[in-house]
Amino acid sequence: MILRDLIGVLEKLIPAGMQESYDNTGLQIGNTGEEVTRALICMDVTMGVLEEAVTQKCDLVISHHPMIFKPIKKLDFGNEQGLLIAFAVKHNLAVYSMHTSIDKYRFGVSYALARKLNLENIQTLKPEEGVLRKLVTFCPSAQAPALRNALFSAGAGHIGNYDSCSFNIEGEGSFRALEGTNPYVGKQGELHSEKETRIEVAFPDWNKTSVIKSLLANHPYEEVAYDIYPLENSLHTAGLGAVGYLKKAMGANDFLSSLQSCFGNMPLKYCTHEKMIKRVAVCGGSGASLLGTAVSVGADAYITGDIKYHDFQAASGKILLADAGHYETEIQVLQVIKELISEKIPTFATLISETNTNFVKYLK
pLDDT of residue 344: 96
Task: Quickly state the pLDDT bin for 272 (edges 50, 70, 90).
Answer: confident
Three-class SS string for 122-182?
EEEEEEECCCEEEEEEEEEHHHHHHHHHHHHHCCCCCECCECCCCEEEEEEEEEEECCCCC
Mean pLDDT of 338-360: 96
Mean pLDDT of 216-226: 97
Strand (E) or helix (H) holding 237: strand 235-250
Whether 364 shows a pLDDT value over 80: the answer reads: no
Mean pLDDT of 189-196: 96
pLDDT of residue 274: 83
pLDDT of residue 85: 96
Segments making up each domain of the chain, as ranges: 3-98+332-352, 105-128+239-324, 132-233
Which CATH class name applies to 105-128+239-324?
alpha beta
Query: Residue 181, Cα to own-chain centre: how many angstroms?
Result: 42
Whether 170 shows a pLDDT value over 90: the answer reads: yes
Task: Quickly state the pLDDT bin for 347 (edges 50, 70, 90).
Answer: very high
Mean pLDDT of 1-13: 96
Same fold: 3-98+332-352 with 105-128+239-324? yes
308-337 tens-digit pLDDT:
999 999 999 999 999 999 999 999 999 999
CATH number listed for the domain at residues 132-233: 3.30.70.120
Q: Which residues of 224-244 are buried (b: 16+ CB within 10 A; e: fewer)?
A: beeeeeeeeebbebbbbbbbb
Calpha distance 333→64 (Å, rounded):
8
pLDDT of residue 259: 96
28-80 tens-digit pLDDT:
999 999 999 999 999 999 999 999 999 999 999 999 999 999 989 898 998 99
Whether 13 shows a pLDDT value over 80: the answer reads: yes
235-270 tens-digit pLDDT:
999 999 999 999 999 999 999 999 999 998 888 999
pLDDT of residue 96: 98
Mean pLDDT of 258-285: 93
Task: Say if domain 3-98+332-352 classifies as CATH 1.20.950.20.
Answer: no
Give the mean pLDDT of the chain: 96
Report pTM: 0.92
CA angle 116, 120, 125 (to 5 degrees): 85
312 Cβ contact partners less than 8 Å away, ≥ 6 residues apart: 269, 270, 271, 321
